[in-house]
């Protein structure tokens, strides 16, 4: 009698090796597909965020054009805005390539966010507005780097190329904004000028932290002393005593007829009366207003120089204060755009070194 006939259970049959391998491969493939889909969904979400932020970036670049100090900066901002629009289109094209649902809200939302930002920053000093721009660029840069890694994981070379281009573009913009902030920190003419409301905001902020009122009081006291010192002093300062002198960290505006001559006399009298600190403040005001005499400039015989010689001389300057004086003087006299741009470029180079931007 066979074992089977005796009722002894037979050993279970083993699955064939080919079937087991097929099932394992199918399971692995399913897992990989699921993982890829999850990564792709994350890429789509990040690209949507990048599209919205890029739309905002483009609008802000347009708004900044009105604040450009020179034609060169104005052209650069115009180009930046155009490039941002092109980047937004590339992101939208890539979203379509990933079969993402078209987004009609993001472009409009980007414009709204830019408008809100521009309105809010009018109540901020220019440095705070620039820090906000820098924060936006850092977010764009970090998200682009994140997408680059995700695209590599999902094996999406087109997205990788897009992310690489975004990283390059935003890295350059971060460096540019860092340089502009460094120019502002050095106290010189930055590539972007504050709006009138930002000037007021900046004056209010710095009035709290700096002894501006004390400086104004010293000016008033020096004028009073000089006024009492004799008829000559009264002739020198009579026009100054009744005029408004506003001293701030970024601008000093003197509303007066014969402003330059009056300020020069005020500086001379203050120095004669021993008020060296006040004389220094008035001299700085004259420098900021571009009202120094040619003999007081850090570049000798500057007024006689051609544009080419002036540019060469400006490139030799190493002091931010000297460049500030020269830019203000050039703007208030010959106002040669090429010379101003060269001086601004030299100033930016010094600011980059100070900020550690390579």
Q: Any long-range contacts for 258-265 (C-beta under 8 Å, 24+ apart)?
A: 259/289, 259/291, 260/286, 260/289, 260/291, 263/289, 263/291, 264/291, 264/293, 265/236, 265/237, 265/240
Burial 7-27 (b: 16+ CB within 10 A, else e): eeeeeeeeeeeeeeeeeeeee
CB of 43 closer than 8 Å to CB of 159:
yes
CB of 199 closer than 8 Å to CB of 248:
yes
State the pLDDT confidence band at 251, using cuts at 50, 70 and 90.
very low
Q: What pLDDT is stored for residue 310 in this prediction? A: 93
When comparing pLDDT for 274 and 170, which is higher? 170
Q: What pLDDT is stored for residue 20 in this prediction? A: 54
2-24 pLDDT per residue, tens: 444 444 445 555 555 555 555 55
Residue 146 main-chain phi, psi, to 5 deg: -65, -45
Asked if the model's pLDDT at residue 33 lies above 70, the reply is: no
163-215 pLDDT per residue, tens: 999 999 999 999 988 988 898 888 877 777 765 544 544 443 343 334 444 44
- What's the pTM value of the predicted model, to 2 decimals? 0.61
| Lowest-pLDDT choice from 233-247, 269-283, 291-305, 337-351 | 233-247
Which residues, 6+ apart, have CB-to-CB distance to 185 below 8 Å? Answer: 127, 351, 354
- What DSSP string runs through 58-106? HHHHHHHHTTBSSHHHHHHHHHHHHHHHHHHHHHHHHHHHTTPPP-SSH
Q: What pLDDT is stored for residue 345 in this prediction? A: 87
């Amino acid at each position: 009698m066979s074992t089977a006939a005796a009722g002894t259970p037979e050993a279970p049959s083993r699955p064939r090796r080919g079937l087991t391998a097929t099932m394992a491969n199918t399971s692995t493939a399913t897992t990989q597909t699921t993982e890829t889909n999850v990564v792709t969904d994350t890429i789509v979400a990040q690209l949507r965020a990048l599209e919205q932020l890029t739309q905002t970036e483009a609008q802000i670049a347009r708004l900044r054009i009105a604040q450009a100090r020179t034609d060169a900066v104005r052209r650069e901002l115009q180009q930046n805005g155009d490039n941002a629009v092109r980047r937004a289109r590339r992101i939208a094209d890539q979203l379509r390539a990933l079969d993402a649902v078209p987004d009609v809200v993001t472009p409009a939302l980007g414009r709204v966010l830019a408008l809100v930002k521009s309105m809010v920053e009018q109540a901020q000093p220019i440095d705070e507005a620039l820090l906000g721009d820098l924060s936006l660029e850092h977010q764009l840069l970090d998200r682009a780097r994140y997408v680059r890694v995700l695209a590599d994981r999902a094996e999406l070379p087109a997205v990788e190329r897009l992310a690489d281009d975004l990283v390059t573009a935003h890295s350059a913009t971060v460096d540019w904004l860092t340089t502009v902030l460094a120019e502002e920190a050095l106290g010189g003419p930055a590539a972007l000028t504050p709006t009138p409301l930002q000037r007021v905001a900046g004056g209010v902020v710095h009035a709290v932290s700096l002894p501006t009122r004390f400086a104004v009081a010293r000016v008033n006291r020096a004028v009073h002393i000089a006024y009492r010192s004799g008829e000559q002093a009264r002739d020198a300062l009579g026009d100054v005593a009744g005029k408004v002198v506003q001293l701030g960290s970024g601008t000093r505006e003197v509303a007066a007829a014969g402003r330059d001559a009056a300020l020069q006399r005020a500086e001379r009298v203050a120095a004669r009366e021993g008020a060296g600190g006040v004389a220094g403040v008035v001299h700085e005001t004259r420098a900021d207003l571009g009202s120094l005499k040619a003999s007081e400039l850090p570049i000798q015989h500057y007024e006689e120089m051609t544009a080419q010689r002036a540019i060469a001389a400006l490139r030799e300057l190493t002091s931010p204060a000297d460049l500030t004086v020269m830019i203000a003087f050039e703007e208030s006299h010959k106002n040669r755009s090429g010379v101003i741009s060269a001086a601004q470029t030299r100033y930016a180079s010094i600011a980059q070194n100070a900020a550690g931007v390579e």
